Structure 1
Amino acid sequence: MTFKHIVMWNLRGDSAEEKARAIHLVRGKFEALRGQIPGLLHLEVGVDLSHADYACDVVLYSEFDSQESLASYATHPAHLRVREEIGDLRIARHQVDYAAH
C-alpha cells in the first residue's frame, strides 16, 4: 500500500511575471526534496494549464511507502525549510492524504 499526499496552492503575484516567478520557486524547492526524505517514493509538481478562475496554480503530488513516512515528512527539516521559504507566496492551500490500495 502506498500513501499519497496531494497539496494544491494559489500563489501570490500581482502580474503574470510575478506569479510565474513564484511558481518557478515553489516547483524548484519541492523538486529539490527528491532523495532527501526517507520513504518518499515519488514526487511531482504540476502547474495549472486551464487558468480557470476556480483552479489552483500549483499541485504537489507525492507518494510514500508508509503512513509513518508520510507523517515523518511533515516534520522533516528539509520539508520544514521549504515550507518556511515559500510561506509568504501562498494565498490558499488545499491538501488531501489517502491510502491507495
Structure 2
Amino acid sequence: MIKHIVMWNVKGDTPEDKADGALRLKTAFEGLMGKIPGLLRMEVGVDISRVDYACDVVLYSEFDSHESLAAYAQHAEHLRVREELGHLRIARHQVDYPVTSLPVCAAAEAA
C-alpha cells in the first residue's frame, strides 16, 4: 500500500475567502472517491488551528500500489480537479510512502 499525503495553503484576502477556497478543494477532491482505480481511501481535512505555520487543507489517501498512485496522477478526473482548482493554491507539500507493516501502535494492540 502507498500513502499519499498532500497539504495546501490557499489564496484569500480575507479569512472568508480562504475558507471558501479550502472548502472548494475539499469538495472537489472528495468527489474523486469511487472514480479512481486503486484508490482505497481518501480523507480531506480543513485546518481549524489557524496557527500561522499550518497548512489550510490536507489530503490523506491510500492506494493499493505505486502503479495505482501513478495512474491517479494522470487520471482525467484528477487532472480536471487540478486544473479547475490550481489557481486557489499558493503552496503545496507532498509525501508519498509505502506501508509494508503494521504501525507500532496497531502491532501492540494486536498482541
What's the TM-score, normalizing by structure 2? 0.88
Partner of 1:34: 33
Higher RCO structure (Cα 8 Å, ≥6 apart): 1
Q: 1:77 and 2:49 equivalent?
A: no
- Shift of the alpha carbon at 1:97? 0.4
1:4-23 matches, within 5 Å, as 4-23=3-22
Alignment partners' CA distance in 1, 2:85 and 2:29: 10
Alignment partners' CA distance in 2, 1:10 and 1:42: 22
Question: What's the C-alpha RMSD, in Å, of the aligned pairs?
Answer: 0.6
Q: Which runs of 4+ in 1 moved over 4 A?
A: none
Identity, in percent, stands at 66
Alignment partners' CA distance in 2, 1:31 and 1:8: 14
Unaligned 5+ segments in structure 2 are: 101-111
Partner of 1:43: 42
Higher strand share: 1
Alignment partners' CA distance in 2, 1:49 and 1:17: 13
